[in-house]
Structure 1
Amino acid sequence: MIDHISVGTNDVALARLSYDAVLAELGLRLLSSSERAADYGVSSILFSIKTPHDGQPASSGNGSHIAFSAGKRAIVDAFHRAALAHGGIDAGPPGLRPEYDAHYCGAFVFDPDGNKIEAVTRSSR
């Protein structure tokens, strides 16, 4: 079971402009923030953006992505719109992905630091 996930950022303030909007569409809110990190969740931290502890520049993982659960297709659409409006880069527009599952609806974006994130639902609505 996963407790939380963190991705690196080179600029917490810039990353927050994107993640504050994008994660709000999924029902997550900012729980704490500093110059080095921002933590999101509902009642406990589920997702964080952080500057690397070793002081080196943050970099994204090639081939990795984080998929956030969306309750319905409209939330997948809203996630994608919010991401593009706040510095994200399209990596796959909202839509069905029948190669995964008949009801798999997802949208992919790269955040301002190049981390690939997704919103997905398997709901038929």
Structure 2
Amino acid sequence: MFDHVVFGVSDYAASKEFFLKALEPIGIAIISEGPLGVELSADGKSSLCLRRAGEKPGHLHLAFTAENREQVQAFYRAALEAGGKDNGAPGLRPNYTGQYYAAFVLGPDGHNIEVVCHESEV
């Protein structure tokens, strides 16, 4: 649905490092970087753009798709190791759907970062 999402971060270096480490398990990498900030993508079709901002931005909820539950678990571990704060350990969320398997972590600016798999366990 989205081509790209752009938002400001209060500490550009810390946020860039956090998002790269936390989202590496789902293939996110830098595709471009310049004076305005950095563009991250896993498929080159849609991207997440972090922009330098002088103040703390309002909180966002960003949800990324995982191919399997192992990627959700790997994201959660990587995000916590990168300094994120737990906001929901990997697990089924039956209140959403019977196969909604997700993990939630708060990033450097308090953004709620989610990775979700809609596939059943293999």
C-alpha contact (below 8 Å) 1:110/1:116 kept by paired residues:
yes
Which amino acid is 1:58 matched to? K
The aligned runs of 1:60-99 (5 Å cut-off) are: 60-61=58-59, 64-99=60-95
User: SS where residue 25 of structure 1 aligns?
Assistant: helix
Equivalent residue, structure 1, for 2:111: 115
Dislocated runs of 4+, deviation >2 Å: 33-36, 42-45
Match of 1:106 in 2: 102
Q: Report the aligned-residue RMSD.
A: 1.6
Aligned equivalents of 1:35, 1:113: Cα separation in 2? 20
Deviation at residue 109 of structure 1 after TM alignment? 0.7
Q: What is the aligned partner in structure 2 of residue 46 from structure 1?
A: 47
How high is the TM-score relative to the length of structure 1? 0.87
Q: Which amino acid aligns with 1:101?
A: T
Unaligned 5+ segments in structure 1 are none
The alignment status of 1:29 with 2:25, answered yes or no, reads no
Distance 1:32 1:45, change over 3 A: farther
CA distance in structure 2 between the aligned counterparts of 1:98 and 1:118, rounded to whole angstroms:
16
* Aligned residues of 2:2 and 2:46 also touching (Cα < 8 A): no
Partner of residue 10, structure 1:
10
Instruction: Report the TM-score when normalising by structure 2.
Output: 0.89
**Residues 76 and 120 of structure 1 are in contact (CA less than 8 Å); yes or no, is this contact kept in structure 2?**
yes
Measured after TM superposition, the shift of residue 43 of structure 1 is 2.2
Q: CA deviation at 1:58?
A: 2.8
Counterpart secondary structure, 2:48: strand
Conserved 8 A contact 1:39-1:45 = no
Listed one character per residue, the Cα deviations across residues 6-29 of structure 1 (whole Å, up to 9, x for unaligned) are: 232111111121111122111121
Q: By percentage of residues, which structure has more strand?
A: 2
